[in-house]
Structure 1
């Protein structure tokens, strides 16, 4: 169900009447003249069909009507490095003329701040040109129904093994934070290739929970889990509760001191970003203003709102001014607080890494979304494996190759977690 739309206003710009009358029509004509012969590219930091891709494509279907000149819009998926590949491209490589916009991960703006010198981020989030966000979000921590942990209180006396994507995503760092700051007994298995792989791991019993699951995404992607009581919701993460989870505690309220609360508030700033969009630095001011106006106008467009409802998307927009203010707030934190948060989000010992099994198999015909049937050399059983162009390392004859180089009949060593999962690597003879 579509939630009510909330607009955040952080400032008022006052313009002289003469200046407004004299400059805006000319600027509008200039912007329209520029865009009417252009095509705008919308970058998505995940693979097609994911939680960032679906809203981006809905936006692309309506955004151009509100941009002067009504340019065409194409969507380009650029997954990799936990979203940093896309943002690094937007910040450093993409044209700075207003012909490229991008969806970015909600937490990506804070990576340079909290990952320190080890970060793969090659951008300064304070220089982002924000367009707005489709929705702020609330996430939850969940435990599988057969886990000993039934509520957040049980985490004081029982371990909960949760799965995480990569090693630096919130699915990994937040459980460490809760363990180190609040004493919750999380153990994290790191290195899963996607959130859906963590979900499969829960269903297989390899892990017993997941942290940083967007509440909206959980409702839409696994309504069956909720209906069949397959999971217990432990707490919510964000600066406010979801309207339809009034009885599930907010993690902020589990802080035992003002110091702990300030740390959690800082970490949870990213949830206000939800599904944010940026354009490149150095875009000419009239075009940037037009892109921002167009974004917020799209959020109010009945056709977009109807499309979002059909796609079961949440529309709860946040203004670019609000997003910029939150980034500014984070980057003005005392260095000692940032250093402490960095330490709290580190594993208490050596990370527990997911263990992929390797099999020899002959590839069959490729199917949709990178799926390959494969016949295992040991026993002749047929299974399915997903080859993801950004997450799966592919080699042919010992040389790095693109996934498109894989052909039926090839014999390969495949590292994966089981039938239907994404391969970590495919090494073909």
Structure 2
């Protein structure tokens, strides 16, 4: 096995450096607090939320009861709308949300009832780093080939399918995007049986965790890091990153918006104007949680990756993303509409014709 999902001891030391102790005053929270998870029960976000709730309690002053409440809807927009307009600001309510929904006001060409930079960012449990991978039997070995030869990529619907389609327009890649795969397991089967040649839907920690057999047995090749900056991992040394191919400032801003949900990852957030002492309390407790060896071992056993980003860093990042000029946002939306026309919808090979589900604005 190339490596585990993460090394608990190493991560604990890194977290200590990333999250210095804060001098801000802390407070005792209400006896019961509610953690809203912006997705359905049983999914990946739900696993992160419930595991964190189990270990977070001991680090909160007074050890309040933590009630986990699922609030799925509209790809996370429902839970963020609640957090923005309804949640108590005294620390009684906080949320784990789908990162894509935090960028809906930029992507979706209609009013969204919240202003993401105004949220209170507490921590992200896991910064994501997606990779462009291909199956070993394909003719692709180097990044330069994707600018010369068509590559057939499988993708889920929504933002992840838009990214490779937008790469064709931004940097001149030759991706043929097949959208509509339901989950990475179905996509893995499509890659393995040759239905598609590769995908950008796999995050590096998932590849080195749940898909280690692909790496160990050299079943895949990593062609490019789908990131703005290179990932600091020896296994990725020499693998180019997409950010290095975009030099035009406007195109670079567009790419950064499209990839922004990777930085936000799996964030815990509070409502706008959350009481400063409650903010300090949650940030301190969550930082202690992600350094807790017992929590890290439990996360590893559950195949949950932990690659944290501080609330302070997320706050700066969100303000920067939302300061991108409106003219660039309009250009991006126009380009997305054009890029969507090039995405081929995968034909459902299932039996029968069931009733279709309502499409969310920002699928996870």
Please give the TM-score of this superposition, normalised by the length of structure 1.
0.70
1:163 aligned residue (132, 144, 154): 154
Q: Which has the higher helix share?
A: 2
Show the counterpart of 1:132: 123
Question: CA separation in 2, counterparts of 1:332 and 1:8?
Answer: 25
Matches within 5 A, 1:211-290: 211-238=200-227, 239-243=229-233, 244-255=235-246, 257=248, 260-290=251-281
SS in 2 for 1:332: coil
SS in 2 for 1:143: strand
Question: CA separation in 1, counterparts of 2:43 and 2:71?
Answer: 13
Is the 1:42–1:60 Cα contact (8 Å) retained in structure 2?
A: no
CA-to-partner distance for each residue in 1:107-157, whole Å, 9 max, x for gaps?
A: 43222113232x7x5322122111111232211111233334333222122
Show the counterpart of 2:344: 352
Deviation at 1:46, TM superposition (A): 5.1
Question: CA separation in 1, counterparts of 2:74 and 2:136?
Answer: 32
Show the counterpart of 2:65: 72
Does residue 194 of structure 2 align to residue 205 of structure 1? yes
Is the 2:130–2:226 Cα contact (8 Å) retained in structure 1?
A: yes
Show the counterpart of 1:56: 49
Q: Which has the higher contact order (CA 8 A, sep 6+)?
A: 2
Q: Which has the higher strand share?
A: 1
Greater mean deviation of Cα atoms: 233-242 or 61-70: 233-242
SS in 1 for 2:180: strand
Question: CA separation in 2, counterparts of 1:208 and 1:193?
Answer: 17
- Structure 1, unmatched stretches of 5+, are 16-23, 361-412, 416-422
- Structure 2, unmatched stretches of 5+, are 1-5, 359-364
Kindly tell me the number of residue pairs found equivalent between the two proteins.
345
Question: CA separation in 2, counterparts of 1:147 and 1:343?
Answer: 33
CA RMSD of aligned residues (A): 3.1
Is the 1:130–1:320 Cα contact (8 Å) retained in structure 2?
A: yes
Show the counterpart of 1:196: 185
Question: CA separation in 2, counterparts of 1:220 and 1:166?
Answer: 24
1:321 aligned residue (307, 312, 317): 312
Question: CA separation in 2, counterparts of 1:258 and 1:43?
Answer: 36
Is the 2:34–2:69 Cα contact (8 Å) retained in structure 1?
A: no
Question: CA separation in 2, counterparts of 1:358 and 1:272?
Answer: 35
Show the counterpart of 2:134: 143
Is the 1:97–1:282 Cα contact (8 Å) retained in structure 2?
A: no
